Structure 1
């Protein structure tokens, strides 16, 4: 490096003389845990329906409450990290999350479980933006792509491992243990973070409280209205809630543009096309991850008579391929155009989902389900990590914290809307094929013995899977708009930078 070369901002942090990798692994433990809890409930859905005398919609709210409480505050919690220290906000959130996990396992009613999940989601919202912001600040630009690849791959693997772990615990120890397992993991994560994560410099911020109120109210009205709409026959007050949510969302965006002090979401972030496209892609993936497990697990347990563990094993091919390809994909993300990497990922996962949906019937052979799941895993491996890596490639360090908050918020928004939409779709399809099943949860509580009923239930779940399939289509279209990255070390970047102004840039 010549004397005129800029010093990486990460080098000005207290961690400049120490390797940042131990801090990354310490953060990954907690990040992995809170993402596992996004999907770990799906495989236990039939058991919770039976043990807590709940409906399908009630149990979907067990996940939606967590996602909603996770999504709404995540923008402001990112700023809290900048103000009071990312390490300390992370540790506070980890404490809240771990204690709320204990509360979840001790509940005896579905209402109490939903309330405990709200608190658990608040803890997760304090943790997530700190992980991405800390990684961005402690890693120099040359190795930041590798670190973000691990962070992104952790998200993809965690959302697949959740149902598998949930099946093992539900089958062997009971549904309560899908929450109790977080306690020892949370303690280990806390100790590791105290020892390995540096306390970074803080910055004064003015908090956009009006933005917080507008965004939070909009999200709540939209998600509650969408999820409860079918249950309430789309009554006038439900339509009013949804309309009110849209109005508040528009007002939020207008306020962010007018706020000259320090908006909650700096709209200048979206001038970077790759950041915008990455947010669209991760919104789709959030919706997919939150939605596809419910119909698949209900089909496996109600139609095929699988135990929670056996049902969860259907996810293993997806998890194996995601883990196996993580390192390869991480290296490709630094060298190949993101349009090629993510285009391949979305197209492959879409193919796998079309195969899975086509073959979802009572008598299909297990391998005919395992193969599509493996194909989906290959596709997802080329989506999760590259999306996270590409999102902040071109952002200046001064906007890293804000970018991390927005990126995580959009992923959670996708998760909330995906969970709400799948509840509506499953209720609708069950009401069409098996009137009464959606309201009482009878079809999902035990194996269906009547072949005719099993066939109808399979059709309902099969048609519900068109939601995540459609999200893969939207994601595939979105990533076609990626432009050539501008980060140092990208193939051909130096030549492109040296080209005369106005010369065409290859691959844009």
Structure 2
């Protein structure tokens, strides 16, 4: 007999996997100049080194959660970790830009499995009393990767070889695979049959929308490829809604979106991710291109922003019940909106870093509240049997928000400024920061309209799952 499903083991395994996937998403950006020289890659190839991961990751998040509900969350999670590990090795061994982009696509597929199922596995393993702390802790692991990503990437690029950006994942993945098989409990979603048509429609719809957003930065919003992709994606998503209303086993149950709290919570997630990460995309370049910091120096100077969630997220998980999740979410969104406006006011070509520092700390505090409570608030409006699907929806919309924010704010930057001079870069940055502040301010309004969380019927502590070893 072997006992599986311990809450602590589940948290450590899934948290480490989420850390690995989050770190990889950020660490690669600092290695792009070195990759360009080594592989003689074009600018478009470099863009796809980042976009290939983002594209496959964003469009398959929801499908991965659905497959986990149908075929077993532990089984699909292990497959995702295995694919991410193999793809990381393939990326490290790449000798051409095309091979690297293909490996990044596979990494995105693996990452799309890891994120939603990590959350579902953790929530299933803990009782209601520890649920908020567990979600905040898992968010903290991802936040740690966000905090360390730019600095670790800069260190690898300056002191070593870009291949180690990818080799770093391989021993972690190899260690996680047997532990996941031995210690994670298997669980399934509520539906016995897979809604194949609904899954294909929603995946195709997300592909069209996300691909259009990704290409808009290079081709422009009026390009036929961008317009056609966005239109096709919107049409497929409309077809998804029509089909799900009559599907016997819907992949996206319509009743979930009739819950005002569920819909508004996901709107908050999309808008915050778009506003904040669209701004971060430009701010990290501002530190290097305008203020002339090296990759390592720029990474260190973003730590007050990116490390604050590590301090705030655990506290939000502890005090969420006492102070109210909704109230803290409103505060988190408001802090982030205010910080972007603050940065827009003080940003100048020769500004002292000390003038940027307070706004970064405020932004990090708001981000910590959001990271800790966003998924928790969304799951509060889903039943225990719907948590896998709700997690997939939330994660998918958050990633679509990142792509949307980068595309929109990059366009604002290009229209109002550019890379020609420090002054033009700063002009574009300020306009983009105000745009990001507006997006997060809209998220604050949505957060204020979220109704109080309904009471949940869940046992205090789940019984251990016992399985007979083979």
- Whether the 8 Å contact between 1:284 and 1:474 is mirrored in structure 2 is yes
Which residue of the other structure, out of 216, 219, 229, is the alignment partner of 1:241?
A: 229
Q: CA deviation at 1:330?
A: 0.8
Q: The residue matched to 2:218 in structure 1 has which SS?
A: coil
Which residue of the other structure, out of 337, 340, 351, is the alignment partner of 1:353?
A: 340
Which residue of the other structure, out of 26, 48, 58, is the alignment partner of 1:61?
A: 48
Q: The residue matched to 1:304 in structure 2 has which SS?
A: coil
Q: Partners of 2:140 and 2:153 in 1: how far apart?
A: 20
Q: Which residue of 2 aligns with 1:139?
A: 126
- Whether the 8 Å contact between 2:272 and 2:333 is mirrored in structure 1 is no
Q: Partners of 1:45 and 1:460 in 2: how far apart?
A: 23
Q: Partners of 1:108 and 1:289 in 2: how far apart?
A: 34
Q: Which residue of 2 aligns with 1:283?
A: 270
Cα deviation 1:19-73 (Å, max 9, x = unaligned) = 4122111110001111222322333344445555556665343322212211222
TM-score when scaled to structure 1?
0.82
Cα deviation 1:110-135 (Å, max 9, x = unaligned) = 44332221110111122222212212
Q: Which residue of 1 aligns with 2:17?
A: 30
Query: Are residue 342 (structure 1) and residue 329 (structure 2) matched?
Result: yes
Q: The residue matched to 1:264 in structure 2 has which SS?
A: coil
1:247 to 1:465, Cα distance in 2 relative to 1, 3 A: same
Q: Partners of 1:112 and 1:266 in 2: how far apart?
A: 39
Cα deviation 1:337-380 (Å, max 9, x = unaligned) = 33310111111122222222333322111212222211111111
1:268 to 1:153, Cα distance in 2 relative to 1, 3 A: farther
Q: CA deviation at 1:384?
A: 1.0
TM-score when scaled to structure 2?
0.88
Q: Partners of 1:103 and 1:429 in 2: how far apart?
A: 40
Q: Which residue of 2 aligns with 1:167?
A: 154
Q: Partners of 2:454 and 2:191 in 1: how far apart?
A: 30
Q: What is the correspondence of 1:311-350 to structure 2 with a 5 Å cutoff? A: 311-350=298-337
Which residue of the other structure, out of 33, 39, 44, is the alignment partner of 2:31?
A: 44
Q: The residue matched to 2:360 in structure 1 has which SS?
A: helix
1:284 to 1:139, Cα distance in 2 relative to 1, 3 A: same
Q: Partners of 2:245 and 2:333 in 1: how far apart?
A: 33
Q: What is the correspondence of 1:71-470 to structure 2 with a 5 Å cutoff? A: 71-200=58-187, 205-229=192-216, 231-233=218-220, 234-259=222-247, 261-288=248-275, 290-429=277-416, 434=420, 453-470=421-438
Deviates more, 1:456-465 or 1:361-370: 456-465
Q: Partners of 2:406 and 2:38 in 1: how far apart?
A: 22
Q: CA deviation at 1:429?
A: 5.0
1:124 to 1:237, Cα distance in 2 relative to 1, 3 A: closer
1:461 to 1:415, Cα distance in 2 relative to 1, 3 A: same
Cα deviation 1:51-106 (Å, max 9, x = unaligned) = 55556665343322212211222222222222322112111110110111122233
- Whether the 8 Å contact between 2:70 and 2:193 is mirrored in structure 1 is no
| Structure 1: segments with no counterpart, 5+ residues | 1-13, 435-452, 490-508
1:326 to 1:155, Cα distance in 2 relative to 1, 3 A: same
> What value does the CA root-mean-square deviation take over the aligned residues?
2.6
Q: Partners of 2:162 and 2:411 in 1: how far apart?
A: 24
Q: CA deviation at 1:483?
A: 1.6
1:217 to 1:200, Cα distance in 2 relative to 1, 3 A: closer
1:30 to 1:230, Cα distance in 2 relative to 1, 3 A: closer
Q: The residue matched to 1:480 in structure 2 has which SS?
A: helix
1:153 to 1:275, Cα distance in 2 relative to 1, 3 A: farther
Q: Partners of 2:114 and 2:245 in 1: how far apart?
A: 27
Q: The residue matched to 1:194 in structure 2 has which SS?
A: helix
- Whether the 8 Å contact between 1:426 and 1:461 is mirrored in structure 2 is yes
1:411 to 1:53, Cα distance in 2 relative to 1, 3 A: same
